[in-house]
Structure 1
Amino acid sequence: MRVLEEFQLVDTETRRLAPKADVLLGQLEGESFAPSIQNSMLRVESGSHADVTALRDELLHLRATVGAAAEPLGLAIAAAGTMPLAHRGSLGITPRSRYMEMSADYALLAREQLICSAEIHAEVRDRDQAVAVSPGISRHLPLLLALSASSPFSVEGSDTGYASSRDLTGQRWPTSGPFAPVRDAAEYDALVDTLVTAGVIADAGMMYFSLGPSISDGSLELRVCDSCPSVDAISTIAALFRAMVAREASLVDACTPTPPHNPAVHRAMMWRASRSGLEGDLICPDSLAPRPAAEVLHSVVDELADELAASGDLEMVRRFVEGIIRTGTSAYRQRRAYRSRGRLDDVVDQLLSETVGWLTEYEGTEGSLFGAYRPNAWAHGDYVDEAVDKGGTARPAYAGVLGAAGELGPVELRNLQTAADRDLSAAGVTFRATGMDTQQAFPLDMVPRIITPDQWAHLTAGVEQRAKALNSFLGDIYGDQDIVRDGIVGLDLLEKSPGYRSTGRAAWRGTVRNHVSGSDLIFSETGWQILEDNVRQPSGIAFAVEAREMMRRNYPALFAAAPQPLNDPAEGYAMMGQTLAAALPPHPQDDPRIVVVTRGKEDGSYFEQVKIAEAAGIDLVLPQNLLVEGNVLWEVTPGTRHRIDVVYLRMDEDMFLSSRGADGSELRYEILRAITAGNVAIANALGNGVGDDKAVYAYVPQMIEYYLGEKPLLDSVPTYLCAIREQRDEVLKRLDQLVVKPIDGYGGSGITIGPEASDEELEERRRELMVKPEQFVAQEVVSLSTLPTFDGAAMQPRHVDLRVFTHLRGNGDGLSVATAPAGLTRVAPAGSLVVNSSRGGGGKDTWIVTGGRQ
């Protein structure tokens, strides 16, 4: 038994495919190494082994050998069906006559052959036997493909929706399919001759059937598998394949061969395997009914137990199978790596690590769902885990839902999670993290956060107090500036704030400015604190609603454990409509019209904008459909013209004002005149960015006392203002211990977390603080609480925060304030304290218990 693996060649600096296989092969000696059709790929072939353990050891050795030769060249190898980062234009066919001829003959098929497979050779008595056993073995090809699935991404980096897109690409060749329709080796050779004579193939090496006689020896060759980063997975497939050959050979010799499936059925089975891998159902080869992939795999292992025992592989196969089922396919792990931070670089790095042996043994995977859970193991000090105490016991509020998750187990949870991801994508619940080129399904975890009635009462009182104080502040600084005159806030603080704009003076005095506030809260050893204020365009309500729908639909067993009575986050939509309806300008029309102004589908939160518009019964409008005439704002479309009273602005203020309207003119001055005339209101108001300023954040406690005459109900995180020389110097001394933020940073951008930062990152931030200190603040590292989050194999603690949404409405008596019964719990990527959707991570459903106070 031997294995031929194809590897992708990656530039370690750019993480992109590198067309340098010819250079690398010049550094490798021996017959084990050979080129492939693309110069960004190479082929590595093992020797023949009777023992699978010895085969596995050689595969690891060969990978290490190639990796060692590649490293000085700035290269690395990845065993994967496809790689997600490549520039087709920079790649090329290997400059050998055979491959150049194939490129000329097959054109598109050859140029796009950026796929890698693993070929396994099993010994047979002769070539006739290789042909004879192929039909019966073909029944199991879908399972073997599913085990190896490692090509979820296209070379352009988009998610194909398939676990093995390589298999779909490979089916385009004229000599593809399960096996050649022949009865013996002579007929097989005659078919090869016919196809060569017809000019369809150049030689027998282009017979790309999934099963067929080897052209180099008397073995049977399996060609259905993706190249797979896990050596254990390839070793398992090799052992299963050899056992299948042995079993079917005995049946053929007894004149009772296993019949193949109908070609249409086989094609459907292969499609199902390509689509889902092991994370879903496979079509059972016996009943042809859908069955969980793990059940199909266990059944096949049991069926082959005698053959596996005879070859000494049974114990190893059972151990590896359990690990593979628990850990999932490479395709699944790649998607999880991508969704963690929204970076394809992370996918490439994971593949590079696994290829050289990082994922060889499935140590620790035999434990329970929480077997490796460490609720107090963060490198930067102790923190609070809200669901599990330091002894590893579920806290009372979480006992029910965590117990239900444990009963389901990691494999079922992963299957449910995969189905949930598909549902979220189908429903358009997407988000684009910073640096991502495409939208992706918003990652939602199945373990909820639980907020007790007492906690919720405390939080809502605190955020409502804060929203009112910020509203007063915004009205004041764009009016009489009493807070500046009284020495509470310095004028220099405002003037240095990028969010302090002259546009803020356009709104009428006394009107609400922060109609909807998003407050980011954290929980730590010291209790609840406000981390950030968001009074520009706070997003997240739609994702809070979808998180609840996901729990109901995809995790009914977990949702059944929810305490009662429970909040309904969808009420947040109704509140949004009511708040916008109350945001009328001084001179509205009799039948006011409200719209959501968006920059369109390219916006990272476009899904949410659509949902709010649908729920509130209002229209989405692009800036190019707006027109101002006579200080009145109109929506203009072909054949229609409607006056607008309220604009719910969901795009950057500068982008909106600099956009060209329906008449081709810049909107800025006409819009400002319409606002000043009292004919249109903007929610949230222009100029509100100063309220999001991280330096202004430090003064909110004083604002609460100044405007409301109250003590703050929620603490802020102590903040250093780097614009003040003494405070900046203190920050520079403790740079490796503090969190440094840009004062106008969106979505966690530009943050340096001292204990996590590299020396280079700290030095760059040090230079910035010396040159432009007024653009930064610093805070102590807060040990954000954690919650269990499923990583595909087990629960792991991940840091979380909580965004809640407070609404302000003007009425005859002043202001009314209310907080939506919805919270978006956001989850940080693994190993990070930065909790923000635009930086990756994800979210959780937030269960707010609405019963009596406890």
Structure 2
Amino acid sequence: MAERPESVAVGVEEEFHTVDLESRRLLPRADSLLQQLPAERFGAELQRSVVETNSRPFVRLADLAEDLAALRRGVVAAAEPLGLGIVAAGTVPVADIEALKVTPDPRYENMLDEYQVLAREQLICGAQVHVDVGDRDLAVAVAHRIAPWVPAMLALSTSSPYWLGNDTGYASYRTLLWQRWPTTGPVGEFASAHEYDRTIADLVRSGVISDQGMIYFDVRPSAHLPTVELRICDACPLVEDVVLLAGLFRALVLVELDAITAGKPPLPVRPELIRAATWRAARSGLSGELVDPAAGTPVPARAFVERLLAELRPTLESTGDWELVDELGRAALARGDSAARQRAAFLRGGPEEVVDLLVAETRANTEWIPGAGPDRTEVVAMLAGYDAAKDEAIVFDGSARNPYGPLLTALDRIGIEGLRERERQRDEVQRRLGMTFHVDGEDQDRLFPVDIIPRIVAAEDWSHLSAGLAQRVRALEAFLHDAYGPRLAVRDGVLPGWAIDESPGMRPEGRLVPAAAVRCAVAGIDLVRDDAGRWAVLEDNLRIPSGLGYALANRWLAARILPEPAGALPTPTPARAMNALRRALTRASSALAVVTSGPSDPAHYEHRLLARELGVPLVEPADLRVIREGVFAAGERVEVLYRRIEEEDLLAMDGMPEAVFRGRVTLANAPGNGVGDDKALYSYVPALIRYYLDEEPLIENVPTYLCRDPERLAEVLDRLDELVVKPVDGYGGIGVVIGPDASPAELAEVKELIRAEPARWVAQETVRLSTHPTFVDGRLEPRAVDLRAFVCGGPEPEVVPLALTRVAPAGSRIVNSSRGGGSKDTWLMQ
């Protein structure tokens, strides 16, 4: 059974009733709404009076909340011109069963024929939470283990006291209607997903249910995905309560996943008691008592929820959810459940007042998360047809994700023509600064491509990334010393000897570096963010990582061409980044120079810029003189060379290896660092963090497979169209083949290359890279992005408060500028 992923995404499906705003009765008009809404986010249910919405999965609850609010905005906006109201509740007080119809679909029509009154009376709506645990065996195990705590989730959501005009006496009468189906209630214990699937197949074969979709357990594993689903809850009028349920359920799942890893048994509670506890929750919601699953005794519902929050606090803090969940939990307990609010409304004005309350609560919360902002004529025009399915800045309805609200407001003020003018200003500034790069085979240098729409990295993301980046560089520094020293990691079985001996980056000159030297003065770590908001390290660059100068220049450009939003957000100044770099490079000596190969180097502009900002000479190898006393340039002693050229070009100089060995000059970065950043070694970095630091990795790796392993090789060749394959010593995107984007001919060619030399190749799972708005021909288009962060090494590595966002061309996932990619200014929030 696999271990749980570090960053666990959560998503929600919500069901909504359609009601007539005049009569306040259910109307079978969902099909009219669905014609106006995107099919990938909105769908039909059994009854034609129900619309279902599907959120994206997200790591951060705040992102999920934005998505849920936007989905509600969408369905409400489609309904109101038709005289319809949208209700998020388990039931609507008044309904005419005879006037309602099932959705015209063969599956639903078969259900009506087979289940009769159960299908006709399925006038109920729920909220379902999905948590991605990464493995179906884990999902099956967790679905059973979590069952004792599920009644509390139901109590928080109870919103169906009325049925066909009558007060049922229950807080959730939907639960009683739901439990009439043959496959509801707590799920049993299964040894594996295979055993679970076999049981489900037996149920289908029995003829009692027609397909896997009719498995309605209170908590169930997905039939196809590695997710576990909470299905017991009523639909919630307040979106805050849905977010609360998502946060609590994910925390419960994480607790049980950790218990599985630790070998702890589940809480021994019989299914009969769980069913009784579910009835108790449905009967009185938060207004009465719940059943303590451990003691089997009644407990006041509010006290039970408070205790549950306290017990889950460590897990909620580990995911960054505690403050939000605690706030939402206290608010839910203070106002009581929806059933109690509905009964109070009924006393004021009967069933019509109840429906008005539910419509108002459902509608009001569409603006709960700030960021939608005022109407933006210019931005709306630029976003026409925008695909936000994987976007980190734009919600599917065109509103802004936090913290992009101020930026979109500023872009609307600038307008399309204003942005075009700023593009012209950008090009003029770049030409004046000489901000260009060279591509082999081209006669003329190109302007370094910079999109004028900046990227924002939220403060909570950057804080987490900074800690993880510093941790990673500490471990890699320890590895570099170990690889050229005692090789303890090999001795202790943390990684195989070939990972060092056969590495393309292993150099005999690496042994010249004094033991006390910092081998990795500046690291460039490439990060990717997926569509759920999950960050991962894609590559480590420990030799001569480029991009810091271009990141600095992008900050200058943004200050000149986007002054309005640029000054409104708290981001570090470029001077702080240069100070961090200066401290790292001058740790050994203040006699520093930047070494370049000259104007022919594609990144010569960056070399000049860095030398100027550091206030040190920019030299070429021919400018250096190595004598017994040390290394000199223009008659001045140089004790640290910040090299922007290959190590061979320096070490080929007479006397340079001896000067390095004797400590007369420090090369930053040290020769031989390539052993620490090839694609094969990358797969072992999490183990190296545990070994050298005795810490768990704070940032995940992308799952990586070494083709030299025969079992992995067979899997890679079989899944080549799903994976990304890379040569172990590749850089700049050279040799990378992205399976889902490759042609059959490209796949066939790389398959033969891998078969011929499997040790030269690795494969990685394809990351669904997040996209970001990019200004193209007067429109905003989504483009895949990554992030290169920079870390200055030493005893306590310092993350440079400056990063380079790289942008892939249209239709591509490769961000390198030499392959047509570009860049963005990056605002790191503090």
The normalised TM-score by structure 1 is 0.51
Aligned residue number for residue 805 of structure 2: 825
Aligned residue number for residue 92 of structure 1: none
CA distances 1:244-284 after superposition (whole Å, capped 9, x unpaired): xxxxxxxxxxxxxxxxxxxxxxxxxxxxxxxxxxxxxxxxx
**Shift of the alpha carbon at 1:439?**
2.1
Structure 2 CA distance for aligned equivalents of residues 403 and 465 of structure 1 = 37
Q: Kindly tell me: are residues 434 and 367 of structure 1, through their superposed partners in 2, closer, same or farther at Cα, counting changes over 3 Å?
A: farther
Structure 2 CA distance for aligned equivalents of residues 674 and 604 of structure 1 = 29
Structure 1 CA distance for aligned equivalents of residues 579 and 820 of structure 2 = 29
CA distances 1:787-826 after superposition (whole Å, capped 9, x unpaired): 10001220000111111111123xxxxx122111111111
**Shift of the alpha carbon at 1:622?**
0.8
Alignment-mate amino acid for residue 605 of structure 2: F
State whether structure 2 residue 805 is matched by structure 1 residue 847: no
Q: Any residues of structure 2 matched to 1:161-172 within 5 Å, and which?
A: none
Correspondence for 1:501 among 495, 498, 507: 507
State whether structure 2 residue 381 is matched by structure 1 residue 368: yes
Structure 2 CA distance for aligned equivalents of residues 430 and 533 of structure 1 = 25
**Shift of the alpha carbon at 1:367?**
7.3
Q: Kindly tell me: are residues 718 and 435 of structure 1, through their superposed partners in 2, closer, same or farther at Cα, counting changes over 3 Å?
A: farther
Structure 1 CA distance for aligned equivalents of residues 758 and 649 of structure 2 = 27
Query: Is the Cα–Cα contact under 8 Å of residues 774 and 782 in structure 2 kept in the other structure?
Result: yes
Aligned residue number for residue 412 of structure 1: 418
Structure 1 CA distance for aligned equivalents of residues 556 and 657 of structure 2 = 40
Q: Kindly tell me: are residues 643 and 517 of structure 1, through their superposed partners in 2, closer, same or farther at Cα, counting changes over 3 Å?
A: same
State whether structure 2 residue 549 is matched by structure 1 residue 572: no
Deviates more, 1:571-580 or 1:529-538: 571-580
Structure 2 CA distance for aligned equivalents of residues 622 and 757 of structure 1 = 41
Correspondence for 1:454 among 435, 439, 460: 460
Structure 2 CA distance for aligned equivalents of residues 733 and 646 of structure 1 = 49
Alignment-mate amino acid for residue 556 of structure 1: P
Alignment-mate amino acid for residue 479 of structure 2: F
State whether structure 2 residue 723 is matched by structure 1 residue 743: no
Query: Is the Cα–Cα contact under 8 Å of residues 474 and 796 in structure 2 kept in the other structure?
Result: no
Query: Is the Cα–Cα contact under 8 Å of residues 799 and 833 in structure 1 kept in the other structure?
Result: yes
Q: Kindly tell me: are residues 389 and 435 of structure 1, through their superposed partners in 2, closer, same or farther at Cα, counting changes over 3 Å?
A: farther
Aligned residue number for residue 528 of structure 2: 522
Structure 2 CA distance for aligned equivalents of residues 838 and 698 of structure 1 = 26
Aligned residue number for residue 539 of structure 1: 546
Correspondence for 1:481 among 484, 487, 502: 487
**Shift of the alpha carbon at 1:733?**
0.8
Structure 1 CA distance for aligned equivalents of residues 681 and 558 of structure 2 = 38
Alignment-mate amino acid for residue 528 of structure 1: W
CA distances 1:20-64 after superposition (whole Å, capped 9, x unpaired): xxxxxxxxxxxxxxxxxxxxxxxxxxxxxxxxxxxxxxxxxxxxx
State whether structure 2 residue 376 is matched by structure 1 residue 391: no
Alignment-mate amino acid for residue 736 of structure 1: D
**Shift of the alpha carbon at 1:437?**
4.1
**Shift of the alpha carbon at 1:530?**
0.7
Q: Kindly tell me: are residues 464 and 733 of structure 1, through their superposed partners in 2, closer, same or farther at Cα, counting changes over 3 Å?
A: same
State whether structure 2 residue 681 is matched by structure 1 residue 676: no
For the residue of structure 2 that corresponds to 1:736, the secondary structure is coil
**Shift of the alpha carbon at 1:420?**
0.8
For the residue of structure 2 that corresponds to 1:643, the secondary structure is strand
Q: Any residues of structure 2 matched to 1:106-255 within 5 Å, and which?
A: none
Q: Kindly tell me: are residues 599 and 366 of structure 1, through their superposed partners in 2, closer, same or farther at Cα, counting changes over 3 Å?
A: closer
For the residue of structure 1 that corresponds to 2:404, the secondary structure is helix
Alignment-mate amino acid for residue 498 of structure 2: D
Correspondence for 1:465 among 471, 496, 499: 471
CA distances 1:434-461 after superposition (whole Å, capped 9, x unpaired): 6544321111112111122221110000
Structure 1 CA distance for aligned equivalents of residues 507 and 533 of structure 2 = 36
**Shift of the alpha carbon at 1:839?**
2.3
Q: Kindly tell me: are residues 374 and 435 of structure 1, through their superposed partners in 2, closer, same or farther at Cα, counting changes over 3 Å?
A: farther
Aligned residue number for residue 763 of structure 1: 748
For the residue of structure 2 that corresponds to 1:830, the secondary structure is coil
CA distances 1:291-314 after superposition (whole Å, capped 9, x unpaired): xxxxxxxxxxxxxxxxxxxxxxxx
Q: How many residues align?
A: 452
State whether structure 2 residue 705 is matched by structure 1 residue 720: yes
Fraction of identical pairs, as percent: 42
Aligned residue number for residue 653 of structure 1: 647
Q: Kindly tell me: are residues 394 and 367 of structure 1, through their superposed partners in 2, closer, same or farther at Cα, counting changes over 3 Å?
A: closer
For the residue of structure 2 that corresponds to 1:448, the secondary structure is strand
Aligned residue number for residue 181 of structure 2: none
State whether structure 2 residue 620 is matched by structure 1 residue 622: yes
Aligned residue number for residue 340 of structure 1: none
Structure 2 CA distance for aligned equivalents of residues 789 and 690 of structure 1 = 36
Structure 1 CA distance for aligned equivalents of residues 681 and 689 of structure 2 = 13
For the residue of structure 1 that corresponds to 2:385, the secondary structure is coil
Q: Kindly tell me: are residues 550 and 740 of structure 1, through their superposed partners in 2, closer, same or farther at Cα, counting changes over 3 Å?
A: same
Q: Any residues of structure 2 matched to 1:270-419 within 5 Å, and which?
A: 368-376=381-389, 383=390, 385-419=391-425
For the residue of structure 2 that corresponds to 1:396, the secondary structure is coil
CA distances 1:378-403 after superposition (whole Å, capped 9, x unpaired): xxxxx3x1111123221131122122
Query: Is the Cα–Cα contact under 8 Å of residues 374 and 392 in structure 1 kept in the other structure?
Result: no
State whether structure 2 residue 786 is matched by structure 1 residue 791: no
**Shift of the alpha carbon at 1:642?**
2.5
Q: Kindly tell me: are residues 395 and 743 of structure 1, through their superposed partners in 2, closer, same or farther at Cα, counting changes over 3 Å?
A: same
Q: Kindly tell me: are residues 462 and 580 of structure 1, through their superposed partners in 2, closer, same or farther at Cα, counting changes over 3 Å?
A: same
**Shift of the alpha carbon at 1:526?**
5.9
Structure 2 CA distance for aligned equivalents of residues 624 and 805 of structure 1 = 29
For the residue of structure 2 that corresponds to 1:707, the secondary structure is helix
Query: Is the Cα–Cα contact under 8 Å of residues 650 and 656 in structure 2 kept in the other structure?
Result: no
Query: Is the Cα–Cα contact under 8 Å of residues 392 and 533 in structure 2 kept in the other structure?
Result: no
Alignment-mate amino acid for residue 541 of structure 2: N
The normalised TM-score by structure 2 is 0.53
